[in-house]
Structure 1
Amino acid sequence: MTDQAELHRQLLDRMTANGSLRTEPWKRAAAAVPRHEFLRGGYFRTVDGSAPTAWESVREGEAGWLDGCYADESLVTQIAGTIVPDNIRGQITREPTSSSTLPSLVLRMLESLQVEDGHQVLEIGTGTGYSTAVLCARLGEDNVTSIEYDGDVAARAQTALGRLEMYPTLVTGDGLRGHGGGAPYGRVIATCGVRTVPPAWIEQTRTGGLILASIGGWLGSSELARLTVHEDGTASGPLLGGGVSFMLARPHLPPPLGLLPNLDEGKERETVIGSDVLNNWTTRFIVQLAVPGAQRLTLDRDGRTEEVLVDTETGSWAAIYEDAGQWLVRQDGPAPLWDVVEEQLGRWRHAGAPSLEEFTVTVAPEGQTICW
């Protein structure tokens, strides 16, 4: 057995053992797709101890490249919207913009999609093409449509899929608009995060079909949701839990913060809810629901650390910090952000602090709601 085949087998064994890979059809599909074929352009790895995070490239054939391809890890393949591993000699500290998702999450999501033979599937976010290939191996290329926002990323995925002689329908464009040419779909799956589920996905899914997407926001907490499309054009379903995180679709990214408000102004008071709620995945998700337009930054001011929420659209802001064992908040603007956070978290705790798996997402023409 070659090194590549052995590494592939070990990855399949790990995914089976951790419960990501559960059923025989998906096991066969995953076994048919060698991940390294989708990483021949190399990937980036973090530089140990770097702050802010720095990246260095790992190219095909270099030490550790093949092992990395079959590690159950997400691998960054593009930085700052255009930069790929071949462009870099040394280190770069810009933000990642495309990646190959860790295989166990890919297979967990595909298992959760509950596909059946013959289903037409729309994939939002082709990325490297790995998950597209697994879909093709499971359902056949004629049943798979995948759309990618970035033309260069799409071209590399098409080349990789061609090496495996897989030719699904590949579309370059805004995945938030879906692809009406192949509708209606029995299943829609998104490998990018969204703040709200786009109406086009619901319109292009047949009644009774499923949409699987990671719903999150600008505070960085997100969860998988599996929505069933109803005859009246709405969709609803549970959060599946597990703390799934994807890069937000580019049109859903936050606006630049710009010039910060004067944080010395505003009204200050004590608060029983400290900024530590922003460091917990579940409570941060709930804060995000309460103030969906807020962005977070951490500042060291006057010898203390302040966690600051800023809503650029309304101009509202809140700065939370601890002094002598007491939490204080200072806020200003038309909507007192921390008041809203306190009210939302208070209601959630009064309800018994339900887990995120007990939340339901509903998407209707008038908007999206998430409640417990």
Structure 2
Amino acid sequence: MTLTDTTALRRELVDRLTADGALRSEPWRAAVEAVPRHEFLRDGFFRRFGDAWQPVPADREDWLERCYTDESLVTQIAGTIVPGDIRGEILREPTSSSTLPSLVVQMLEDLQVQDGDRVLEIGTGTGYSTGLLCHRLGDGLVTSVEVDAEVSRRAGIGLGACGYFPDLVVGDGLAGHQDGAPYDRLVATCGVREVPHTWLEQTKPGGMVLATLCGWMHSSELAQLTVGHDGVAHGRFLGRQVSFMLARPHLPPPLGILPDFESGEERSTRVGADVLDDWDARFVAQLAAPRTQRLSLTSADGTRHVLVDVEAGAWAALALDREQWTVRQGGPVPLWDAMEDHLLRWQTDGSPALDRFEIMITPQGQRVTWPTP
């Protein structure tokens, strides 16, 4: 198959996404069938190789077929490194990718756009989702903000190759783009710890904001918010375990030198650290201590499950000893006390699923609640 003849691959992708329930309407099916994903991946991508990443250049035999798989394809490592920069392997963290198409189109379906809607996209990335929006609405109605100038430039090349010329903005996506406001819809393709009120200010009353609320313990949920005439947004989580790279200003700080876990005060716990292996429970715990990071340390004495709030200087270390969990805490804030109380209240209320939670955003911040019996 030639690069100019990817019609069959695009139709196969449409059929796969439709069968999986991601594609639910004809306008978005037409967009996926029309927009060639490979145009946004011409610089290649990385594939995971054990704990490392290896480049997959565009001249590799299986490159084209992989462009049309339903998987996320990493396009940048460590903030600057692209596939053409290395020959071997790299052991750094991804910083940009082409999100798996099923998630992209599910979110676009959830955005509920109508003909004539103006859309602000936060996080251009490779530009593939931007291209789908352009096909659906027309590029004159699409604005996309990307913090990385080089990423935005490459996205513009891919969009231009497809015949789309939306308003591409290089800047801090958390600030939105006031010059094009107000928008009917705002969609973020990066994760945030808190939804910026700026996004609500730039969205029309009755408009929708779709964003992924994340935490530093790696549990996240897609929030669907409607903006009111008073500038306050109300909404709910859609119950999808959506993972996006965090917006760069919302990334956690380095852990630095860990505290002395033999200090602090020790007590028995009412909830063990193993509860944090559950996605929903971990999300609930994050709500109580949103700046906390989680790690495990194994030694001859066993495994410690460690929680650290670097900015507050607080920590908690949990361990299992003869079927009894204990916690030792230090710093100005008892981290596990806050998480434990929150988790026990949630469990007492029947451990409702995250799609039953409600979220409200005001100028003062955000509030997440769950239903009580």
Do they superpose with TM above 0.5? yes
Aligned residue number for residue 80 of structure 1: 78
Q: What aligned pairs does 1:224-263 form with structure 2 within 5 A after superposition?
A: 224-263=222-261
1:199 equivalent in alignment to 2:197? yes
Aligned-partner residue type, residue 322 of structure 1: L
Indicate which of 132, 140, 143 corresponds to 1:142: 140
In the TM superposition, what is the alpha-carbon distance from 1:63 to its structure 2 partner? Answer: 2.5
What is the distance in 2 between the residues matched to 1:242 and 1:65?
Answer: 29
Task: Between 90-99 and 57-66, report the one with greater CA deviation.
Answer: 57-66
Aligned-partner residue type, residue 21 of structure 1: L
Deviations 1:5-33 (A, max 9, x none): 22221111110001100001111111110
Alpha-carbon contact 2:7-2:33 (below 8 Å) kept: no
Deviations 1:318-353 (A, max 9, x none): 001112222111111221111111100111011111
Aligned residue number for residue 66 of structure 1: 64
Indicate which of 336, 339, 343 corresponds to 2:337: 339
Alpha-carbon contact 2:175-2:198 (below 8 Å) kept: yes
Aligned-partner residue type, residue 28 of structure 1: A
Aligned-partner residue type, residue 276 of structure 1: D
Aligned residue number for residue 169 of structure 1: 167
Aligned residue number for residue 362 of structure 2: 364
Aligned residue number for residue 5 of structure 1: 7
Indicate which of 23, 41, 44 corresponds to 1:42: 44
SS in 2 for 1:191: strand
Aligned-partner residue type, residue 151 of structure 1: A
Task: Between 291-300 and 111-120, report the one with greater CA deviation.
Answer: 291-300
When the two structures are aligned, how many residues end up with a matched partner? Answer: 368
SS in 2 for 1:91: coil
1:24 equivalent in alignment to 2:26? yes
Alpha-carbon contact 2:45-2:57 (below 8 Å) kept: yes
Indicate which of 267, 288, 307 corresponds to 1:309: 307
What is the distance in 2 between the residues matched to 1:81 and 1:308?
Answer: 28
Deviations 1:41-79 (A, max 9, x none): 0000000xx2xx200000102032112101100010000
Deviations 1:222-271 (A, max 9, x none): 01001000111111100001100100000000111122111111111221
Aligned residue number for residue 289 of structure 1: 287
SS in 1 for 2:12: helix
TM-score of the superposed pair, with normalisation by structure 2: 0.97
SS in 2 for 1:56: strand
Alpha-carbon contact 2:266-2:327 (below 8 Å) kept: yes
Alpha-carbon contact 2:44-2:83 (below 8 Å) kept: yes
What is the distance in 2 between the residues matched to 1:63 and 1:217?
Answer: 39
Task: Between 253-262 and 124-133, report the one with greater CA deviation.
Answer: 253-262
What is the distance in 1 between the residues matched to 2:32 and 2:8?
Answer: 14
Deviations 1:112-150 (A, max 9, x none): 000000000000000000000000000000100000000
1:125 equivalent in alignment to 2:139? no
What is the distance in 1 between the residues matched to 2:288 and 2:7?
Answer: 48
What is the distance in 1 between the residues matched to 2:325 and 2:68?
Answer: 46
What is the distance in 2 between the residues matched to 1:261 and 1:354?
Answer: 35
Aligned residue number for residue 94 of structure 1: 92
- Where structure 2 has 5 or more consecutive residues not aligned to the other structure, the ranges are none
Aligned residue number for residue 14 of structure 1: 16
1:184 equivalent in alignment to 2:182? yes
Alpha-carbon contact 2:10-2:32 (below 8 Å) kept: no
Task: Between 200-209 and 301-310, report the one with greater CA deviation.
Answer: 301-310
In the TM superposition, what is the alpha-carbon distance from 1:303 to its structure 2 partner? Answer: 2.9
SS in 1 for 2:6: helix
SS in 1 for 2:287: helix
SS in 1 for 2:313: coil
- Where structure 1 has 5 or more consecutive residues not aligned to the other structure, the ranges are none
Indicate which of 216, 233, 237 corresponds to 1:218: 216
SS in 1 for 2:102: helix
Indicate which of 277, 280, 301 corresponds to 1:279: 277
Give aligned-pair identity as a percent. Answer: 59
Aligned-partner residue type, residue 20 of structure 2: N
Deviations 1:265-304 (A, max 9, x none): 1111221311112211111101110111111121113431
Task: Between 2-11 and 331-340, report the one with greater CA deviation.
Answer: 2-11
What is the distance in 1 between the residues matched to 2:8 and 2:301?
Answer: 54
TM-score of the superposed pair, with normalisation by structure 1: 0.97
In the TM superposition, what is the alpha-carbon distance from 1:313 to its structure 2 partner? Answer: 1.7
Aligned residue number for residue 54 of structure 1: 52
Alpha-carbon contact 2:70-2:100 (below 8 Å) kept: yes
Aligned residue number for residue 324 of structure 1: 322
Alpha-carbon contact 2:57-2:63 (below 8 Å) kept: yes
What is the distance in 2 between the residues matched to 1:325 and 1:6?
Answer: 57
SS in 2 for 1:92: coil
